[in-house]
Structure formats: structure tokens, C-alpha cells
Amino acid sequence: MCSSDLVIFENVRLHRVTVLSTRSPVEFRIHISEVTGLFEVKEGGAVVASGVVRAPDLNPAVAETRMEEMNKLAGGCDSNLLMRGPHIYKRFRFYGFEYDGLFRAIRSACPDFQSFSVNWKGNWIAFLDAFLQTCIQPFGRVDRVKLPTAVTKIVLNPGQFLSSLPPASASDCDVFVYNSKELDLVKCCGIEFHGPQTTSVAGRSGKEARPALFTVAFEPYFDDDENCRAEKPKAWPSPMLQCVSVVMENLASRFTATPSQASAMAPVTVV
């Protein structure tokens, strides 16, 4: 995409899913009507996406006002309450979305899922896909999943967007993105998605195994440093003895603990 291009897409529809493979190339054909601006993206003779593309009539003064509004919104979320990217994409995977690589661009999000920090690495496809990801709510019912299928209007002003990036890290930086549920708008400086629409589809059924977001396992600790034990045998009590001692101290009225004969593990007898 050229930095001087300024374009608007309207009534964009995503008609079906296309699987891209690294083993065999996938060919897309784009047809654009010079009279009406209607466009279609086809793959194998089937329409994948359609809409209208035209030159914008955006007033530059209005664009500057929108930049100031974004700067005011950027500092509205407490950093101590942010959800980090790894946790967000764990939830996405829980719903069946296998995002990876550049497409894991969301770095953090506010608890209300309206303010986001999205990583920009110079890839327009991955960055704009993150705008659609903000429309997916990964904190709901597992059996119903919302897929982005349409956008009423998309405004792309690459010149304004690139000029808003810090010059020192223009190829790798975090960009503030705001998703307003009241205005039905996802935007950052120079990019706006008006009226993103989602369609509910069947998610994971009750028969499928629920993916594990994380696992908790007990791993016993053993100190294998024999030199430390030989020098200070009383200064290195068994970790299990310490845990049991804490429990017994809190339940002193019900149990009494008597250490058995001294050994490497210092077993405890509960009476």
C-alpha cells in the first residue's frame, strides 16, 4: 500500500472462509468496476469478498480533530488492570481461533475490551486483521462464536497513520486502537472501521474436549546439594516438613505433629 493512497471501502462482505496453505499457492482474482466502484474478490470462481471502493471526500481538518480525540482516549485505562496479549490469545484459542505469528498483534486490552494496544510491524494485512479481532468477544459462551463477516465502511488514510508513528520505531511499535460499542466504530489514527458486523456460529459442542488454558501440577522440591547438607544439616529442613508444620500450626487444637527419627527427608508422624 502506497503511503499517499487515501481510500474508502463500503458495504464490505466476507462471504466465505478461504484456507491458505504453505504447500500450494492460492490465487485470488480482483474485479473492480471503474464506473460504480463495485469490487469482487474471487478464488476458484467463487466470490470470497465484495463491496464498493471509492476515493474519499474526507476533510483534512476533520482528520486532525480525530487525531486529537485519539490522543485523549489513549490514557484512559489503568495499566494495572490490562489484560495481556498471551492471556487474550489463550481465550481466542479456547474458542477455536488459532492465531499465530504476526496475527497475534494485540499486546494488551482494557477489561471492558474497548481500548487496545496493537503491535504494528509494517504488515497491513496482519494489522487490519487485528481490528476485526477486537470485535470478537472471547469471554462468553463456548458453544456460540461470533465471526466478523461484514463492515459498513472502512476509511484508510495511510499517510496520516504512518505520520502518527514514532520516527525512531516506525516499523515496530504499539498503536492505540479504540473499539466504541456505543458508536459501533473501531479506529486509530488514520484508520476507521464503521459498523463491523459479526455472525454467530456454532462453537465447540459439549462432546468435544475443552482445551486447557493452563495446567497446575505439584512438583516436589529436592535439594541435591550434599555439601550444604553436610555443613549445615539443621539449616536445611525438608520443604515438605515446612509445609506440614505450617498446616499443623494452624490446626494446633485438632492435631499434634511428632517428628520421627532423623533422616534425609525428615518424615512427620501425625497423631
Q: Which residue has the higher pLDDT, 226 or 158?
A: 158
pTM: 0.68
Residue type, 51: G
Tell me the average pLDDT across 83-111. 87
| Cα 50 to Cα 158: distance, rounded to the nearest angstrom | 22
pLDDT at 65: 44
The CA radius of gyration of the chain, in Å to the nearest whole number, is 28
pLDDT at 127: 94
pLDDT at residue 84 tops 70: yes
Is residue 2 within 8 A of residue 11, CB to CB? The reply is no
Give the chain's mean pLDDT. 77
Q: Which residue has the higher pLDDT, 200 or 127?
A: 127
- Residue 133 neighbours by CB distance under 10 Å: 24
pLDDT at residue 268 tops 50: no
| Cα 263 to Cα 246: distance, rounded to the nearest angstrom | 20
Confidence of residue 104 (pLDDT cuts 50, 70, 90): very high
* Torsion angles phi and psi, residue 42, rounded to 5: -120, 150
| Cα 94 to Cα 85: distance, rounded to the nearest angstrom | 14
Percent with pLDDT over 70 in the chain: 66
Residue 181, CA distances (Å) to 149, 201, 229 in order? 17, 21, 62
Q: Kindly report, residue by residue over 157-216, the tens digit of the pLDDT.
A: 888 888 888 887 778 899 989 888 888 889 888 899 999 998 877 665 555 566 565 566
pLDDT at 143: 58
| Cα 80 to Cα 74: distance, rounded to the nearest angstrom | 15
Q: Kindly report, residue by residue over 8-61, the tens digit of the pLDDT.
A: 999 999 998 888 878 888 899 999 998 899 999 999 889 999 999 998 765 554
